[in-house]
Amino acid sequence: MADHPWTTEIIRDEGELRALLGFPKPIVASKMTDRLNPLTRQFIERSPMVCIATSDARGNCDVSPRGDPAGFVRILDDTTLLLPERPGNKIADTLRNILQNPHVGLLFLLPGIGDTFRVNGRATLTTDAELLEPSTVNGRRPELGILIDVDEAYPQCSKAFIRSAVWDPEHYQRRTDLPSSGEIMRVIRDGDFDAETYDRERAERYARGEGLY
């Protein structure tokens, strides 16, 4: 591990890390399984949002949100999931990474619930129309899906959500208090960008449901 310009106090191996953190209790380690069961399936069946983490062959990482009506990630069996791919920006970081490195991590979120559910596994891209047909929304069948073979599946405790109060409406922020996508683009482009038109046209497209499916 390389030195860092901000500090010399760097942990360089797992021995140093364990000396600081200790080890998980047996009951914590025992929650990790290689398949779903009737209880853990419910976290996936009720989740409208999942974050998928991938990396390319060189280890460059990406994490991307995926959202749809609850249960959109289909459980094919206790060791196989299908994540439908909806229209995006066509940069395709997740998909390109999977082609180089099939290992993925999923974090399932449920609105108002602090506990999350994690799945680690191996991904395969599929264009199987019959397999993807049940993922049709608004009359549009996805052209592509991500099959995930489960290696690890386990619940994650709610400490992060308790600390952040992320589901507490009193802590919600107003979108207007933050820079818009157009304003950010204008800074990136050194002022050579029509932020107002970009933001207005995008809002209009979303209001029409254009490009969602």
What's the CATH superfamily of 30-164? Electron Transport, Fmn-binding Protein; Chain A (2.30.110.10)
The domain limits of the chain are 30-164, 173-208
CA distance linking residue 58 with residue 61, whole number of Å: 9
Digit-coded pLDDT (tens) for 126-171: 999 999 999 999 999 999 999 999 999 999 999 999 999 999 999 9
Digit-coded pLDDT (tens) for 179-201: 999 999 999 999 889 999 999 99
Residues 131/204, Cβ–Cβ less than 8 Å? no
- CA–CA distances in Å: residue 116 to residues 55, 66, 146, 190: 22, 15, 21, 40
Digit-coded pLDDT (tens) for 5-61: 999 999 999 999 999 999 999 998 899 999 999 999 999 999 999 999 999 999 999
